């Protein structure tokens, strides 16, 4: 009996003729599509795979070897990678499904092949579940991609063949696999620039998930095929003639939009298929002169594309609003082409795409084409490096407790709709649709994002949550005193921005907890208290804190008084014990209601608590958010019964509302005059002579408002400052803000909390 280790030296094992012919067909495709072909390596990989899978059969009833053969054919033809990838495709299941080991792969094919097969084995089943535990598998996928992109490219081929033969599976498995494919594999293939693979995955998924819709579109396209072909011929003939006259070597192709894209467009626009005008597009593909050096060839190719664009628009009237220049501004996956929509015969809209043959190969095969053109590992193509940067960025500091968030971010970054925005210096930035100035700031540099205090879009100040659009010029205003606002995470859309904001928020939380511990330790020392963390943890639970860290955090943020903890640790006196027994089982809110009934007059406040006006109640207005009449607020009952008033958008609100719902009170404002509240404004603008005088004049003289403090800093001709003042209510504050905005040179006025 032949052992696995001995099969590597065998070349004469019995192979069924159909599979032997399949190997020869594969080698033919390799010769046609790959720059170099190591036939001996591919034959050896086939022999080993055939032998390893000799007792394995597919659901369809075929020998299992039919699957790796087809996967290798897709790698060679549809993706066009390299001979190592073809051999890896033949071997992609042997370590996972048979007795073969990675050591055997290394001894027979080398370390590179071992790494690829190891990566393919590790990521097997990555998309098989949406459960939390699978997040680590997604991370493994990303790590393997960062090591060798061929891992995921072979995996695309594997999934594509599985989708082509999905009918052999039970219906439940079909639905699950089709959903996985549409959810993750197709957009990931798009991110890698593999447009034909992405389109096939989408169509095959739709065929399973909505067979009626799929078949309707297929039948309708077939019924229109003859008419469509005649129209395309009439449209392209004058164009062919002009291009021949001008001496171009070219190919003109027509592309019909894939079924899934038509289906999605029909749903989005709520239109029938007959009203979707861009069912097909015309592609003009120009031959490039391979005798030129790469730089000259690229330059000439771009110039030729623009000249052909001129020819197209001479023949047919263009629609300027439908023009897209992806040559000067390539997509993030490297796609380059000129797109224009023109009015053809009978006034029909026709999209024309113009590109060189090199651009076309990248458009069809994406990163695989870049792989083909790179010249050694030390000179990786720029677009490949961008893709690797994207993978590395997703992997940046993922934490085990953020597993679900990591998978969410992974999906988020598979966006297929992009916008193109510019820095003030004219540098291009590519961002996902719905990106904001904060996303842009983090894209420029992490420190720019961390210190962002405002933004100008096309010369005008906008909120940081403003949605950017293609063509915007974005200028970020920064301050060294600024730090990220945790609320930014609610509107940013890029992984980098979200992860950096969360990192900073978590670090701030840790710092607050450390400060809280230090405050407690000083209090404990003064009161001669010695207690272990274990016992303190028990007390934290008694006080309804989820853990010790949360208790220290609330002490550090002044949400919980360390003196209360001291009293609790020292133990109640006899009277307090009697009260405690009498009130056992009462909720904290019930205690507060008792407190309200017995509260003594200590100052008039304009509050309505639980629907009743409280004229004689002493309350605290939280310094973390400085609420004023007109703000949406809530009351938080401390463990001693004192009431702290917070704004609902206070940075501490989430913690209080989520972790202590039983200590929250409904609070509103009643009308009462002659009460002043502290508020703060953040201003930014041009640093000019007299600016501070103009600001103080508006506040003090024009609006008769008392200034408590003012701090102004200036850098590079831009100032930023904080003004603390006394206002009567929210309307008063808004009048101030609107008046300040009208001062010449002021770019932004925002409410600010310290």
- d(CA 494, CA 410) in angstroms, rounded, equals 10
pLDDT tens-digit profile of 4-32? 556 666 656 788 899 899 999 999 999 99
The residue that leads in pLDDT, 754 or 241, is 241
Cα–Cα–Cα angle for 506, 510, 512, nearest 5°?
115
DSSP string, 61-79: SSBTTHHHHHHHHHIIIII
Quick check: 261 pLDDT over 80?
A: yes
Q: Would you state the structure tokens that stand for residue 486, as one six-digit string?
A: 């945790």
pLDDT score for 308: 96
**Whether the Cβ atoms of residue 681 and residue 749 lie closer than 8 Å to each other:** yes
**Whether the Cβ atoms of residue 143 and residue 388 lie closer than 8 Å to each other:** no
Give the 3-state secondary structure of residue 307.
helix
pLDDT score for 385: 56
CATH 3.30.70.260 fits 677-752, yes or no: yes
pLDDT score for 618: 57
Quick check: 671 pLDDT over 60?
A: no
Q: Annotated catalytic residue: which of 97, 564, 655, 687?
A: 97
Q: What's the CATH code, domain 219-373? A: 3.30.460.10
Name the CATH topology of 4-211: Hypothetical protein af1432 (1.10.3210)
| Least reliable range by pLDDT among 443-447, 536-540, 619-623 | 619-623
- d(CA 315, CA 345) in angstroms, rounded, equals 11
Name the β-bridge partners of 681.
723, 751
| Least reliable range by pLDDT among 17-31, 227-241, 591-605 | 591-605
- d(CA 129, CA 149) in angstroms, rounded, equals 23
Quick check: 148 pLDDT over 70?
A: yes
The runs of H, that is alpha helices, within 98-193 are 102-109, 111-122, 135-147, 150-164, 171-180, 186-191
Q: What is the mean pLDDT of residues 657-679?
A: 73
pLDDT band at 704 (very low <50, low <70, confident <90, very high): confident
- d(CA 577, CA 581) in angstroms, rounded, equals 6
Give the 3-state secondary structure of residue 431.
strand
Quick check: 43 pLDDT over 50?
A: yes
**Whether the Cβ atoms of residue 151 and residue 116 lie closer than 8 Å to each other:** yes
pLDDT score for 312: 96
Give the 3-state secondary structure of residue 462.
strand
Bridge pairing between strands 620-621 and 643-647: parallel
pLDDT score for 11: 54
DSSP string, 652-694: THHHHHHH-GGGEEEEEPPP-SS--EEEEEEEEEE--TTHHHH
Tell me whether residue 97 is one of the annotated catalytic residues: yes
pLDDT score for 673: 52
- d(CA 356, CA 304) in angstroms, rounded, equals 8
Quick check: 459 pLDDT over 50?
A: yes
Quick check: 409 pLDDT over 70?
A: no
Q: What is the mean pLDDT of residues 447-475?
A: 88
Q: Annotated catalytic residue: which of 16, 28, 59, 96?
A: 96
Name the β-bridge partners of 255.
281
The residue ranges of every structural domain in the chain are 4-211, 219-373, 577-672, 677-752
Quick check: 641 pLDDT over 80?
A: no
Quick check: 580 pLDDT over 80?
A: no
Q: Would you state the structure tokens that stand for residue 282, as one six-digit string?
A: 């015309």
Q: Specify which of 110-124, 222-236, 373-387, 735-749 reaches the highest per-range mean pLDDT.
A: 222-236
pLDDT tens-digit profile of 428-442? 787 888 899 999 999
Considering the chain, what is the average pLDDT of its residues? 80
pLDDT band at 374 (very low <50, low <70, confident <90, very high): low
Domains 4-211 and 677-752 belong to one CATH topology: no
* DSSP annotation of 379: G
Quick check: 639 pLDDT over 60?
A: yes
Quick check: 651 pLDDT over 80?
A: no
pLDDT score for 376: 37
pLDDT tens-digit profile of 288-320? 887 788 788 889 999 999 999 999 999 999 998
Give the 3-state secondary structure of residue 633.
strand
pLDDT score for 75: 92
**Whether the Cβ atoms of residue 156 and residue 186 lie closer than 8 Å to each other:** no
Cα–Cα–Cα angle for 329, 335, 341, nearest 5°?
75
DSSP string, 245-275: HTT--EEEEEEEPPHHHHHHHHHHHT--GGG
Query: What burial class does residue 534 get, using C-beta atoms within 10 Å of its C-beta: 0-12 exposed, 13-18 middle, 19+ buried?
Result: exposed
pTM: 0.59
pLDDT tens-digit profile of 98-137? 888 888 888 889 988 988 888 887 766 554 444 434 455 5
**Whether the Cβ atoms of residue 210 and residue 263 lie closer than 8 Å to each other:** yes
Output the CA–CA distances (angstroms, integers) from residue 753 to 477, 485, 627, 680, in the order listed. 19, 11, 10, 6
- Provide φ and ψ at 155, rounded to 5°: -65, -35
Quick check: 230 pLDDT over 70?
A: yes
Bridge pairing between strands 677-686 and 746-752: antiparallel
639 contact partners, CB below 8 Å, separation of at least 6: 543, 560, 561, 564, 588
**What residue ranges in 323-473 does DSSP mark as E strands?**
324-325, 338-343, 349-356, 418-422, 428-432, 452-457, 460-462
């Amino acid at each position: 009996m032949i052992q696995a280790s001995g099969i590597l030296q065998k070349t004469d094992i019995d192979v069924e003729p159909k599979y032997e012919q399949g190997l020869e067909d594969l080698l033919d495709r390799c010769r046609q599509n790959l720059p170099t072909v190591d036939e001996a390596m591919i034959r050896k990989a086939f022999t080993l795979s055939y032998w390893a899978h000799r007792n394995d059969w597919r659901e369809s009833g075929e020998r299992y070897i039919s699957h790796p053969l087809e996967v290798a054919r897709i790698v060679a033809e549809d993706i066009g990678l390299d001979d190592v990838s073809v051999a890896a495709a033949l071997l992609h299941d042997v370590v996972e499904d048979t007795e073969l080991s990675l050591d055997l792969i290394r001894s027979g094919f080398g370390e590179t092949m071992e790494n690829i097969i190891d990566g393919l084995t590790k990521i097997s089943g990555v998309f098989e579940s949406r459960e939390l535990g699978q997040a680590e598998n997604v991370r493994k996928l990303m790590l393997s991609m960062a090591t060798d992109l061929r891992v995921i490219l072979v995996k695309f081929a594997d999934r594509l063949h599985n989708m082509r033969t999905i009918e052999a599976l039970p219906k439940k498995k079909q639905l699950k696999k089709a959903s996985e494919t549409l959810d993750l594999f197709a957009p990931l293939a798009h991110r890698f620039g593999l447009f034909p693979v992405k389109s096939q995955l989408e169509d095959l998924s739709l065929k399973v998930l909505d067979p009626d819709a799929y078949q309707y579109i297929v039948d309708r396209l077939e019924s229109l095929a003859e008419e469509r072909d005649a129209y395309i011929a009439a449209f392209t003939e004058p164009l062919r003639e002009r291009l021949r006259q001008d001496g171009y070597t070219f190919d003109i192709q027509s592309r019909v939009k894939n079924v899934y894209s038509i289906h999605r467009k029909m749903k989005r626009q709520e239109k029938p298929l007959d009203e979707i005008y861009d069912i097909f597009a015309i592609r003009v593909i120009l031959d490039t002169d391979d005798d030129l050096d790469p730089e000259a060839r690229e330059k000439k190719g771009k110039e030729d594309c623009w000249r052909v664009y001129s020819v197209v628009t001479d023949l047919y009237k263009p629609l300027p609003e439908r023009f897209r220049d992806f040559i000067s501004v390539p997509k993030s996956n490297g796609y380059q082409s000129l797109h224009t929509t023109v009015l053809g015969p009978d006034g029909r809209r026709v999209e024309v795409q113009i590109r060189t043959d090199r651009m076309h190969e990248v458009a069809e095969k994406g990163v695989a084409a870049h792989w083909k053109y790179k010249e050694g590992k030390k000179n990786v193509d720029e677009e490949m490096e961008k893709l690797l940067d994207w993978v590395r960025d997703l992997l940046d500091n993922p934490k085990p407790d953020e597993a679900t968030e990591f998978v969410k971010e992974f999906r988020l970054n598979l966006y297929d709709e992009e916008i193109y925005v510019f820095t003030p210096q004219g540098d291009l930035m590519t961002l996902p649709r719905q990106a904001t100035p904060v996303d842009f700031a983090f894209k420029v540099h992490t420190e720019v994002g961390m210190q962002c205090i405002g933004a100008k879009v096309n010369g005008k100040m906008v909120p940081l949550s403003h949605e950017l659009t293609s063509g915007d010029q974005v200028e970020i205003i920064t301050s060294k005193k600024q730090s990220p606002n945790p609320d930014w995470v609610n509107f940013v859309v890029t992984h980098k921005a979200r992860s950096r904001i969360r990192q900073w928020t978590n670090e701030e939380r840790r710092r607050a907890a450390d400060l809280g511990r230090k405050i407690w330790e000083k209090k404990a020392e003064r009161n001669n208290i010695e207690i272990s963390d274990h016992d303190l943890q028990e007390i934290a639970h008694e006080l309804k804190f989820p853990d010790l860290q949360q208790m220290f955090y609330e002490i550090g943020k002044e949400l919980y008084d360390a003196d209360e903890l001291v009293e609790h640790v020292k133990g109640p006196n006899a009277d307090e014990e009697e009260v405690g027994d009498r009130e056992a089982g009462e909720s904290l809110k019930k205690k507060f209601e008792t407190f309200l009934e017995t509260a003594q007059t200590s100052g008039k406040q304009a509050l309505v608590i639980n629907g009743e006006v409280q004229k004689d109640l002493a309350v605290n207005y939280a310094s973390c958010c400085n609420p004023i009449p007109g703000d949406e607020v809530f009351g938080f009952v401390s463990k001693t019964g004192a009431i702290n008033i917070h704004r609902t958008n206070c940075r501490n609100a989430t913690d209080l509302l989520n972790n202590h719902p039983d200590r929250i009170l409904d609070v509103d404002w009643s009308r009462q005059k002659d009460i002043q509240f502290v508020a703060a404004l953040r201003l930014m603008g041009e640093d000019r002579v007299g600016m501070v005088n103009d600001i103080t004049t508006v506040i003090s003289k024009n609006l008769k408002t008392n200034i408590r403090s003012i701090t102004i800093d200036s850098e590079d001709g831009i100032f930023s400052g904080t003004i603390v003042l006394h206002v009567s209510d929210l309307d008063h504050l808004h009048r101030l803000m609107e008046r300040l905005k009208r001062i010449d040179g002021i770019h932004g006025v925002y409410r600010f909390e310290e």
